[in-house]
Amino acid sequence: GNFDDALGLVRRVTETRTLTLVNSLNPFRLEGQKTVAFEIVDELGAPPDAHFLPVGNAGNITATWRGYTELQRAGSIDRRPRMLGFQAAGAAPIVRGRPIEKPETIATAIRIGNPASWKGATGAAGDSGGAIDCVTDQEILAAYRHLARREGVFCEPASAASVAGLLKVVEEGDLPTPPGGTIVCTLTGHGLKDPDRAVAGTAPVIPIAATFEALTEAMAT
């Protein structure tokens, strides 16, 4: 089965056992996640103009928007950013407008066909003047490699969906910020969460003799 199958089973178990579900269905998790917005504003001194996030179960975009909203309500900020969430093209139920029974994408953490926080995600995008869109696996992997090569950041492929989304809107000339605006991209997971993709994308190990000559010869090829 997939993530959605597992979630259904876990929900049934928690209904019949003294166990607590701690994923995006748990309101306390979202309350914790919303503090990301607090930290961003604290670091930048103001809210960004746009915030790009990967969308799987949709808890992050829902919670982060809640954080910005509470900051504005408290008078700590006078505006909120546009929220742009990106699903993988093969696992984009919100973009398609219907649950997907068998989602497919290399970005395992967002391979979800029926997000628990669907309404929260569409609310965040709609209320902020943002959008929920999708990016292909090829675009995700390009952003994944870009982050490693240019920024020295080793994230899981699902995390790179946010940067893939930014690169996509830049290429389309549809950047949702004023000139000189500030954009934040959330990376949700370390690369070691999904190491198989990194291993698959590297050159194979070439065994050589333990001699200087063999080493220099291998380096020259």
**pLDDT one-digit tens code per residue, 134-162:** 999 999 999 999 999 999 999 999 999 99
Report the pLDDT averaged over residues 114-122: 96
Pairwise CA distance, residues 193 & 58, whole Å: 18
Residue 1's pLDDT is: 83
Q: What is the DSSP code string of 9-37?
A: HHHHHHHHSS----STTSHHHHHHHTHHH
Residue 34's pLDDT is: 98
Number of domains the chain contains: 1
User: Among 128, 150, 133, 121, which residue's Cα sits nearest to residue 96?
Assistant: 133
**pLDDT higher than threshold 80 for residue 24:** no
Report the pLDDT averaged over residues 184-195: 94
* pLDDT above 70 coverage of the chain, percent: 100
Helices (H), 45-179: 59-73, 93-96, 118-128, 137-146, 160-171
Tokens linked to 145:
């490699």
**CA distances (Å), origin 88, targets 132, 162, 204:** 11, 10, 28
The pLDDT-based confidence of 196 (bands split at 50, 70, 90) is: confident
**pLDDT higher than threshold 80 for residue 65:** yes
User: Among 37, 50, 45, which residue's Cα sits nearest to residue 178?
Assistant: 50
Residue 133's pLDDT is: 98
Beta bridge partners of 83: 51
Residue 7's pLDDT is: 85
Residue 183's pLDDT is: 98
Report the pLDDT averaged over residues 33-49: 98
The owner of tokens 């093209």 is: 89
| CATH classification of the domain holding 98 | 3.40.50.1100
Taking only the tens place, the pLDDT of each residue in 54-64 is 999 999 999 99
Total-model pTM: 0.87
Q: Are 134 and 86 in contact, with CB atoms under 8 Å apart?
A: yes
How big, in percent rounded to 5, are the helix, strand and coil portions of the chain? 50, 10, 40
| 73: containing domain | 3-220
38 sits in the region (left: phi over 0; alpha: psi -120 to 50; else beta) called alpha
**pLDDT higher than threshold 90 for residue 107:** yes
Tokens linked to 79:
């505006």
Q: For the chain, first and last CA: distance in Å?
A: 45
Residue 116's pLDDT is: 92
Q: Are 52 and 186 in contact, with CB atoms under 8 Å apart?
A: yes
For the chain, state the CA radius of gyration: 20
